[in-house]
Amino acid sequence: MNSILHSLDEFFKDKSDNEKWMIIFMIVSVIGYMAYSLFLPYAEDKLNKSTRQRNSLQKSISSHKQYIQSITVGGDRDYYIKKYDKDIVKLEKDILNTNGDINFISAKLEELSPLLFNKESWSIFLNSITKEAKNQDVKIEYINNNYIDSNGSFGHILEIAVGCKGDYKNIAKFMNRLEKNVLVTDIYESDIHLDENKTTTVADVKISVWGINH
What is the pLDDT confidence band of residue 204, given thresholds at 50, 70 and 90?
very high
pLDDT tens per residue across span 29-87: 777 667 666 676 777 777 788 888 888 888 877 777 777 777 777 777 777 778 878 88
Return the sign of the alpha-carbon dihedral for residues 103, 107, 112, 115.
Answer: positive
Amino acid (1-letter code) at residue 20: K
Cα torsion angle, 152, 155, 160, 161, sign: negative
Mean pLDDT of the chain: 76
pLDDT, tens digit, 9 for 90 and up, residues 130-169: 999 999 999 999 999 887 765 655 555 778 899 999 999 9
Give the per-residue pLDDT at 173: 92
Torsion, Cα 76 77 82 88, to 10 degrees, reads 140
CATH architecture classification, 114-213: 2-Layer Sandwich (3.30)
Lowest-confidence pick of 107-121, 126-140, 189-203: 107-121
Per-residue pLDDT at 178 exceeds 80: yes
The DSSP secondary-structure symbol of 144 reads E
What is the pTM for the complete model shown? 0.43
d(CA 128, CA 183): 11
